[in-house]
Amino acid sequence: MRTLHARPHAWKLREPFAIARGVRSEARVVIVELHEDGRVGRGEAGGVGYHGETPESMLAQIEQVRPALERGCDRHELLRLLPAGGARHALDAALWDLEAKQSGVPAWTRAGIAHWRPVDSAVTIGIRDIAAYEATARAHADYPWLKIKVGKGSPLEAVAAVRRGAPRARLIVDANQSWSVEELRAYVPALQPFAVDLLEQPVAVAHGDGLRGYDGAIPVCADEALSTHEDLAGLVGCYQFVNIKLDKTGGLTAALELAAAARAAGFRLMVGCMLGGSVSVAPGMVLAQLCEVCDLDGPWLQAEDWPGGIVYQHGRMSMPAPAVWG
């Protein structure tokens, strides 16, 4: 007999997290548990706030499929029962975890990953004043990847400050849709001296066609512009990378399918996450085995996390304890 438990939770962040869309001081998530034959499968999701998702809306979706989950539905049936989004991600993760615990086979093996490699995540520097950008970068100068959140104001100064603080780190610049296409084209040559590796969703989704034929020296990655495989066709010729987030795809099962489709369409792959604890991010570490760029620092941004959760050592991630997930 399988039983489902679902609840909201709020993780306190170590500092206010500021991006172009606003500031947050906590990560609000839903946590689900599937209990069956003495084993517990766990899932967690923060949802997609810019799609209007909240813990309350996700919990309502979870309740709609409670009978099917408790009756024993699997991950593939779940794809038909719920749309892409945070609720499905939480339940999909719990089913992956339950399968791993029942079979004794780790989730990454069940996902078809032949050889596990270490996962190095970018860590994010949220929007702050220029001196604080440099100081924060200096404190993390030995991390392999830093991601710089910027808005419309002074993005070049922010990137320059981070580069002064961390001369060797690889850099992602994320404007969260706050630049115009014209600003992007002006910024790219100015950013080249700072050795920026990737520009993440610099322009509004609605203006993505303005990137068609983009041949700038810094590749551009679709984030908010991509949720599911249905979005891929419209991104061809505009973006070079796609950022796959499990809250958007509705879980690891759909994300693995999206990754294969994106590769077939010629995109390079990045994996990202929403704010949330180790259980929300751990399935993304499986997907990270297929990606060039990894940004799974949600738990690192928190002041608290699951006991036995992911440990970050200068950006390198450990899988959580098997009793926690996977």
Which residues are marked as active site?
A: 149, 245
**Residue 261 near residue 244 (C-beta atoms within 8 A):** no
Cβ neighbour number for residue 51 with a 10 Å cutoff: 14
Tally of CA atoms within 13 A in the half-sphere of 262 that contains its CB: 30
Helical residues (DSSP H) of 75-154, grouped into ranges? 75-81, 86-103, 107-110, 130-139
**Minimal CA–CA distance to 48: which of 29, 61, 31, 33?**
29
Residues 6 or more apart whose CB falls under 8 angstroms from that of 201 comprise: 174, 175, 176, 177, 221, 222, 223, 224, 225, 243
174 is in an annotated binding site: yes
Radius of gyration of the chain measured on its C-alpha atoms = 19
CA 18/CA 149 separation, integer angstroms: 8
Map residue 46 onto helix, strand or coil: coil
What are the backbone dihedrals phi and psi of residue 16, each rounded to the nearest 5 degrees, phi first? -55, 135
| Rounded Cα gap, residues 197 and 189, in angstroms | 13
> Residues comprising the binding site for Mg(2+)?
174, 200, 223
> Residues comprising the binding site?
174, 200, 223
